[in-house]
Structure 1
Amino acid sequence: MSEHDRDFDVSGVAPAGPVYGTRPEGFRSGFASFVGRPNAGKSTLTNALVGSKIVITSSKPQTTRTVVRGIVHRADGQLILVDTPGLHRPRTLLGERLNDLVTTTWAEVDVVAVCFPANEKVGPGDRFIVNELAKVRRTTKIAIATKTDLATPEQLAEHLVSIAELGRETDTEWAEIVPVSAVSGDQVQLLADLLLALMPEGPPLYPDGDLTDAPEEAIVAEFIREAALEGVRDELPHSIAVLIEEMNPREGRPADKPLLDIHANLYVERDSQKGIIIGHKGSRLRDVGKAARLQIEAFLGTPVYLDLHVKIAKDWQRDPRQLRKLGF
């Protein structure tokens, strides 16, 4: 992707509009997309590189549902990290749309970085992704062994060999193979150096200080969904969606004591799921609200009043009309 190709906004990858600021000699800027099977550590790695939590994380697979851009500012360049949903074999219309989002993104970034968790063997899901990625010829590809803090040195060595072998078997040329732990910070900065070196020379694409281009309402909704995911099992995680109905500063508050009122609806697909989310006498919903409020306040830097309601959108993952309402 050249500088002249960046004035588009097809799937939300590149910013439409002007570039920002002047650049020193050799300044680089560009887009890197993290891909991998669900729960491969993509979102945690995005947050570690950006240096702030902009993407929710969970032990539940298929947590990420949107393309989220994190922006890394450096003296020598600007790196835009595109975190995508985990690629998987879809069982619902939502799953199909998420997969389409991932594959569209691949063709519109400068580098695709495939994440292989070091505590798990390279398997059929990884092979499926790399085979799909092999169809995108022009994009530079690197491999990242994530979660190295969870693997022994022997396991990691074997893992790196398996990644290299998968590249050979799929005719995929890895520009780099990098082991990283986002949790311990091991080699995170090295990864940033390597990614930036693969970017084209060009001016900053976002204003200095921006960490993401996602609307605040979207990130707030994701923090609520993250809190709701905690402790739920089976199919319920996939059935949870959040919509912000209203988000405004409370009128009449003194300037030194602001309060942000947030009213949000948390959607599930069935009556039984509603009961699980609310909990006994509302206890679980209160816990969700408290956990989400703390995250939102830390992100926005202002006190928050959070009003949560649970509603049913029957089988929304399979209903085109409901998907549109919920932003998919």
Structure 2
Amino acid sequence: MLLELARRRRILFLGGKGGVGKTTVAAGVAVAAASEGRRVLLVSTDPAHNLGHLWRCEVGDRVRRLAPNLDGLELDPEQTARAHLDEVGVALRTLMPRHLSGEVDKHMALSMDTPGMHEAALLERMAELVEEGLGTHDLLVFDTAPSGHTARLMALPEMMQAWVDGMLQRHERSRHLGDVLRGLGKDDPMGRRVVGGDDEGAASRDDRIRAMLQRRRHRFDHLRASLSDAGLTAFVIVLTAERLPVLETIELHAQLRRSGIDVGALVVNRRSPTDAGALLAGRAAMEAGHLETLARALPGVPRHEVPLLADEPVGRAALEALATRLAAAPGS
């Protein structure tokens, strides 16, 4: 059962093709876990902000109580990137010699539109949420953006960790060079200006730079370890029983496995009934054919089916009813 997976893990990521109901299923799982007495944090990384629409309330970038034992928040990639750059800018102005502050401002302004900046900022925010959330909540449920974005995001921790390691190595080399230059230029005012001031100030900056890089390294290392720990984290792919979502699911599964992330379940959402007229029976038969393709491609992944509902599950009462359906959803 899908909820049994939530009971055995502390972090769940739900992803899949756009429009298949990821946010709805994530909310249903979160409600079901919270109803069992677990403290749950539901996080949406999808810029569409559907979480607030589902709960009929404003859900922003600060944790908000949605139901007993259930908190939620939405991460806005644009806002997250801007806050990230503001924080980096403050740190750089503190760490760099004063005469370079103009260069720092110019670099920060250009960085906002750099390819990958939103993903990197979002990843750091997620790393922060995982690190802190495991201490405040029993279960973290992440509702992610559509498949392609999510696959890139899941591969980023290893890349970012390698980047920070490279920065630390370069910093050590530059620190050693700075020590040499300062030693050669003790009596030369021009030499002191080149390496950034007096020995004490430069050494203090070096220590702060190293401390900042070490904090980032620890954060990305913790996120990478959490994502690759199959006993702690599972990814649930949500899809509908149609050709394109099935093919995209098979590809997303392969990408996640390459990133070392365990795919714990597939959720087939809005499954057509076989006893509601010829039209829906025909769709159900078509869906069955696509699900055979899925079963052949991913034979070892548990699959759960959620029936097509007459109404949209919007609002707390409807989401609680969906949670009950998820608990009873047939699996294979």
TM-score (norm 2): 0.32
Between structures 1 and 2, the one with greater strand share: 1
Between structures 1 and 2, the one with greater helix share: 2
Where relative contact order (Cα < 8 A, 6+ residues apart) is larger, the structure is 2
Task: Answer with 1 or 2: which has the greater Rg.
Answer: 2
